[in-house]
Amino acid sequence: MERLAVEIGRALRRLRRAQGLTMVEVAAMSEGVFKATSVAGYERGERSITLERFCSLTELYGYAPDRVLTDILRRTEGGVQPEIDLTALETLGTTEGVLVSGFVRQVRALRGERRADTITLRSGDLEVLATAEGRRPEELAEALRSAVRPED
């Protein structure tokens, strides 16, 4: 259960940072519903968050709670690929970069995500993209390696 709390915290931190928000700004946006110290505790995995508060917080960040939770569960099972830095991806100037950039626009629309500087490609996403490129998933992952953002 501890691993789940840590992954929930990491996910909440990624969402907040993707929106360019500080914890103090989150407290202000929520009109005091979320205190900065509570958000910090959630993000460190030291404080439990109820499902209701989790949903409210992810929605405050502009993300669908069910999709965020799905990503968290996949991470705890080891089924998610690393985050791709979209700025680095765009500077690759390769066919892989163009392919993935187009895919990212479609994924964001489906996931209901706001614009962010990273996206997490799931293993299934990588397989589909590699097939479209006529490659194995490992080959595509290697071609995109310079755009992978290190984990927090």
pLDDT above 80 (res 90):
no
Asked if residue 130 is part of any domain, the answer here is yes
Distance, in Å, from the CA atom of 123 to the CA atom of 72, rounded to the nearest integer, reads 14
Asked if residue 152 is part of any domain, the answer here is no
Per the CB < 8 A criterion, the answer to whether 137 and 130 are in contact is yes
Domain end point (choices 28, 48, 77):
77
- Count up the domains in the chain and report the number: 2
Residues 38 and 97 placed together within one structural domain of the fold: no
Domain holding 101, by residue range, is 80-147
Please list the residues that pair with 118 across neighbouring strands: 85
CATH number of residue 116's parent domain? 1.10.10
Q: Which residue has the higher pLDDT, 114 or 137?
A: 137
Mean pLDDT of 113-134: 74
Residues 106 and 120 placed together within one structural domain of the fold: yes
Looking at residue 81, what is its pLDDT?
Answer: 58
80-85 vs 118-122, strand pairing mode: antiparallel
Looking at residue 116, what is its pLDDT?
Answer: 66
Residues 60 and 20 placed together within one structural domain of the fold: yes
| 0.75 surpassed by pTM | no
Looking at residue 99, what is its pLDDT?
Answer: 80
Residues 71 and 123 placed together within one structural domain of the fold: no
Domain end point (choices 42, 77, 112):
77
pLDDT above 50 (res 34):
yes
Residues 61 and 85 placed together within one structural domain of the fold: no
Asked if residue 99 is part of any domain, the answer here is yes
CATH number of residue 27's parent domain? 1.10.260.40
Looking at residue 71, what is its pLDDT?
Answer: 82
Residues 10 and 41 placed together within one structural domain of the fold: yes
Query: Mean of the per-residue pLDDT values for the chain?
Result: 83
Q: Which residue has the higher pLDDT, 112 or 137?
A: 137
Residues 130 and 117 placed together within one structural domain of the fold: yes
User: What totals of helices (H) and strands (E) does the chain contain, helices first?
Assistant: 9, 2
Looking at residue 80, what is its pLDDT?
Answer: 45
User: In the structure encoding, which two tokens stand for residue 85, read together?
Assistant: 């830095």
Domain end point (choices 77, 112, 131):
77
pLDDT tens digits, residue range 49-64?
999 999 999 999 999 9
Q: Which residue has the higher pLDDT, 137 or 19?
A: 19
